[in-house]
């Protein structure tokens, strides 16, 4: 048997996760989005972003779809003030993006996502992730998020139950997107086609929202991810 002290980032993560789990009644709503068309759109534009020194991943699209859903369903961009018994609605959209580092999972914040273009987000995310992995972000850059996005897709897995970052109201998790056969239409007038499907998991505070609210929130995100044209119009 070996004992090691809980130090630095791991200690902070342990304390914050314990507080979140203790204070927030978590519920997870799961669904999946058809991102076939969106992936084609991303692939067509990734070289242009690469020439600017960054990578166009799925995350900027997710951030934009999340903001659209947060605007349509503001209780997911809020927090609960227990002492005053009030819901605090945030009028800004600062989204935390979880980054896997050697020191543990860190969550730097992309501020004012609604005011930034897809290219701006791609460049900022790339730079922010690099600095986070290199230990170059400070505490101010990891504070003030109103919503969080986390992605384990690069590591695999079909789904998970993300823990909300207290005092936020929700967190969106993404697992690995996979190609699989999908039935389109109603038998006998139907066809089976290959589609790229992205598993999504929304962890939300049941004090602020109900299951029906979560389903509507997720449906909004899915609708934007399903249609690249709709998402680009929102951008």
> Residue 127 pLDDT > 70, yes or no?
yes
Per the residue annotation, which of 29, 190, 206, 226 is the catalytic one?
A: 206
Residue 70 pLDDT class (50, 70, 90 cuts): very high
Which 8-state DSSP code applies to residue 145?
Answer: -
Nearest of 175, 180, 141, 177 to residue 161 by alpha carbon: 175
Nearest of 52, 49, 95 to residue 71 by alpha carbon: 95
Domains in the chain: how many in total?
1
Per-residue tokens: 180: 């699989």
Kindly report the CATH number assigned to the domain that includes residue 32.
Answer: 3.30.559.10
Q: Is the dihedral of CA 126, 127, 128, 130 positive or negative?
A: positive
Q: Would you call 206 a catalytic residue per the annotation?
A: yes
Residue 235 pLDDT class (50, 70, 90 cuts): low
Q: What pLDDT was estimated at residue 7?
A: 75
Q: What pLDDT was estimated at residue 225?
A: 96
pTM for this structure? Answer: 0.94
For residue 80, list its beta bridge partners.
Answer: 87
Q: Phi/psi class of residue 38: alpha, beta or left (left: φ > 0; alpha: ψ in -120 to 50)?
A: alpha
> Residue 90 pLDDT > 80, yes or no?
yes
Is 55 contained in some domain?
yes
Is 4 contained in some domain?
no
Is 17 contained in some domain?
no
> Residue 234 pLDDT > 70, yes or no?
no
The span from the CA of 111 to the CA of 121, in Å, is 10
Query: Residue 87: in which H helix or E strand, if any?
Result: strand 86-89
Query: Higher model confidence: residue 118 or residue 155?
Result: 118
pLDDT, tens digit, for every residue of 174-214? 999 999 999 999 988 999 999 999 999 999 999 999 999 99
- Are 207 and 80 within 8 A, CB to CB? yes
Return the minimum-mean-pLDDT range out of 46-50, 83-87, 151-155.
Answer: 151-155
Is 16 contained in some domain?
no
> Residue 129 pLDDT > 90, yes or no?
yes
Is 178 contained in some domain?
yes
Is 7 contained in some domain?
no
Domain that holds residue 110: 27-234
Please state the rounded mean pLDDT for residues 157-177: 94
Is 1 contained in some domain?
no
What is the end-to-end Cα distance of the chain in Å, rounded? 54
Is 8 contained in some domain?
no
């Amino acid at each position: 048997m070996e004992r090691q002290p809980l130090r630095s980032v791991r200690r902070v993560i342990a304390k914050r996760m314990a507080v979140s789990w203790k204070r927030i009644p978590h519920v997870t709503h799961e669904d999946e989005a058809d991102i076939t068309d969106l992936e084609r759109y991303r692939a067509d534009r990734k070289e242009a972003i690469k020439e600017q020194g960054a990578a166009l991943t799925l995350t900027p699209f997710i951030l934009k779809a999340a903001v659209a859903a947060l605007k349509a369903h503001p209780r997911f961009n809020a927090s609960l003030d227990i002492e005053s018994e009030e819901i605090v609605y945030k009028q800004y959209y600062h989204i935390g993006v979880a980054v896997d580092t050697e020191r543990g999972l860190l969550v730097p914040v992309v501020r004012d996502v609604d005011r930034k273009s897809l290219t701006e987000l791609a460049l900022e995310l790339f730079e922010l992730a690099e600095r986070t992995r290199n230990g170059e972000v400070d505490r101010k850059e990891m504070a003030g998020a109103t919503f969080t996005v986390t992605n384990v897709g690069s590591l695999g897995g079909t789904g998970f139950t993300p823990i909300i970052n207290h005092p936020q109201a929700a967190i969106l998790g993404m697992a690995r997107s996979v190609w699989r056969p999908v039935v389109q239409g109603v038998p006998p007038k139907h066809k089976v086609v290959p589609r790229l499907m992205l598993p999504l998991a929304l962890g939300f505070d049941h004090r602020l929202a109900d299951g029906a609210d979560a389903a509507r929130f997720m449906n909004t995100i899915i609708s934007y991810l399903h249609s690249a044209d709709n998402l680009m119009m929102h951008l």
